[in-house]
Amino acid sequence: MSAAHCFFRSSPSGWTVSLGLQSLQGANPNKVSRNVAKIILHPNYDSMTNNNDIALLRLSSPVRFTDYIRPVCLAASGSVFNNGTDSWVTGWGAVKEGVALPFPQTLQEVEVPVVGNRQCNCLNGVGTVTDNMICAGVLAGGKDSCQGDSGGPMVSKQGSVWVQSGIVSFGFGCAQPNLPGVYSRVSRYQFWIKSRIRSNRPGFVRFISSGLDPDSSYTCPGPLTRPSMSVCGNTLVNSHTGGDKSTVPEGTWPWMVSLHQNGVHKCGGSLISDNVILTTAQCFSTTSPNASEWNVFLGLRLVNGSKEFETSLGVLNITVSKMTGSNIALLELFESVSFNNYIQPVCLDISDSRSFPIGSQCLVTGWENKNNSRGKGAVLQNMKTQVASCGNLSDSDQICTHTMDLQEGGQGSPLLCKSESSWFQVAVVTVCESRLSHGDVDVFTKISRFGSFLKEIIDETPSAATLLTGSSPDFSVSLLIFFAVLIISLFLLS
Ligand code: 4AZ
């Protein structure tokens, strides 16, 4: 038994099955090999959704059972694998994403608990895990199956027998936190397997879990809604100042959005009100781009990964500032978003009243180029930098920072600097402009240069007005008011 996705065609020619094998290289005294007489792919295998990822291979002749070659029992229909069921997966696949098993390629094993289907759907994206699938993994990450393990077994022990619960099928990356691996659920195929094997049928064993499955009442932890309309630049979850170049936990930069053109990540951007996104004009090849090609993803951590806090919205219209030099673009969303822990607007300083002197801590957040991350699971990065002198380039429209390793996928991302307790977007990342060689500084055009353009556009969306100038009152001011009220009340009471 294996996975359907391992076979492009059902022609058995060229395939060999080795049994009793411990390592792929070196001596294997117990090895027995057979050609494949027939490959039976599940008739409803769907390569787009991975549903019914199961195949049967008929060996050219029977093998004799030994201490090294024995059949596993299969989970019978109606088997129950509660959340947390202890499971083992074995294989010769990669030991890390992109890292092949080293010589002499000895068979590996990993212990992973079952993750219930409801929870697994929340984590991998609701709808990706069907009833024909079973998930397993540790939520902290670090233990998983990986490329090359596909088709191999996941087993659980009941009494003295090992029962195969799953077939390694797919996952978003390998061993990523909160992204359990997905397996074909063997117990769903008892009828199909029996219909395909006439003699010497496999042994089916009903696997039973005791107690109520905690997954049966699991609901996705919807993001906590926050009535914080008038506050911008606050990180409500995992707030930190950012490492040098580190992947960030969920919810850290809640204004960060990914702009997709026809379904592909093209640019970063930032949420500046409940329905406006700010990015660079560089994302668009023309000055009047087609809004219907674009989608905005908010509350996102991975480009193609965990979708737990994700929302995607269409774009109503795109307006490009038409000034000389570099330009910005504003995207008006189809609908207003409701702010929560994972979706918050950033502050803008249109009037240029705040100063970020040389040495101020700033950073750029963005997704690295999808080509460099093999298309799947590009993780939001932050790159810390400091405001630097622009030298003889100096002009009030520009801000310079120490150079960063900015990549194409990061264009449109915000350059952020902290003022008091709020994050302000100071500039929009435009890759080519910042790549101009100006010694060891990156040069950015300040947002304030577009002040009148921004005010013109944003005025059409009234709810945004308060946000754009909205910095929350200073904490010390709040404290002062609090004590003043306290003292007055005490005075009145006495
Ligand atoms: C694969 O490509 C594969 N972490 C198998 C299992 C997993 C990911 C990828 C699960 O064969």
Query: Which tokens is 213 given?
Result: 């499955």
- Other beta carbons less than 10 A from residue 44's beta carbon: 11
| 148 CB neighbour count, 10 Å cutoff | 16
Smallest CA separation from ligand 1 atom 11, residue: 147
pLDDT at 467: 36
pLDDT in tens, 9-23: 999 999 999 999 999
- Ligand 1 centre and the CA of 93: distance in Å? 9
pTM above 0.75, yes or no: no
Q: Do the Cβ atoms of 429 and 283 come closer than 8 Å? A: no
Check pocket membership of 172 for ligand 1, CB cut-off 6 A. no
Q: What pLDDT score does 373 carry?
A: 37
CB distance 252 to ligand 1 below 6 Å: no
Q: Quick one: pLDDT at residue 62? A: 97
In this prediction, residue 455 carries a pLDDT of 84
Q: Which residue has the tokens 């699991």?
A: 218
CATH of domain 244-463: 2.40.10.10
Query: Is 150 assigned a catalytic role?
Result: yes
Count the helices and strands in the chain (H runs, E runs). 6, 25
Q: Say if CB 53 and CB 90 are below 8 A apart.
A: no
CB-CB neighbours of 200 under 10 Å: 7
Q: What is the pLDDT of residues 236-293, one digit of tens each?
A: 664 444 444 455 555 568 899 999 999 888 999 999 988 999 999 999 988 788 999 9
Closest CA relative to residue 139, chosen from 224, 216, 250: 250
d(CA 301, CA 122): 14
Query: 10 Å Cβ neighbour count for 12?
Result: 18
Active site residue 349: no
For residue 247, the model assigns a pLDDT of 55
Number of other residues whose CB lies within 10 A of the CB of residue 78: 10
What token pair was written down for 389?
């002198």
Cis link prior to 104 (omega < 30° from 0)?
yes
Q: Output the pLDDT for position 382.
A: 77
Ligand 1 mean position to 169 CA, how many Å? 6
pLDDT of residue 379: 65
Q: Does ligand 1 come within 6 angstroms of the Cβ of 170?
A: yes
Cβ of 89 less than 6 Å from ligand 1: no
Q: How far is the CA of 241 from the centre of ligand 1 (A)?
A: 34
User: Which are the contacts of 230, defined by CB distance < 8 A and separation ≥ 6?
Assistant: 466, 467, 470, 472
Identify whether the C-beta of residue 157 lies closer than 8 Å to the C-beta of residue 72.
no
From the list 2, 5, 326, 442, the catalytic residue is 5
Q: Please tell me the distance from the alpha carbon of residue 83 to that of residue 106, in angstroms, as a whole number.
A: 30
Q: Looking at the chain, how many residues does it have?
A: 494
260 is annotated as an active-site residue: no
Indicate whether residue 149 lines ligand 1 (CB < 6 A). Answer: yes
- Catalytic residue, from 2, 42, 53, 79: name it: 53
- The two domains 4-216 and 244-463 share their CATH topology (first three levels equal): yes
Domain chopping of the chain, boundaries: 4-216, 244-463
pLDDT for the residue 409: 64
What pLDDT, on a 0 to 100 scale, did the predictor assign at position 432? 61
- Strand ranges (E), 223-299: 245-247, 256-261, 264-271, 276-280, 294-298
What whole-number distance in Å separates Cα of residue 419 and Cα of residue 446?
16
Burial of 303 (0-12, 13-18, 19+ CB in 10 A): buried
Residues of the chain with pLDDT below 70 are 222-230, 236-252, 301-308, 368-379, 394-395, 408-409, 432-439, 459-483
What CATH number has the domain spanning 4-216? 2.40.10.10
pLDDT for res 235? 74
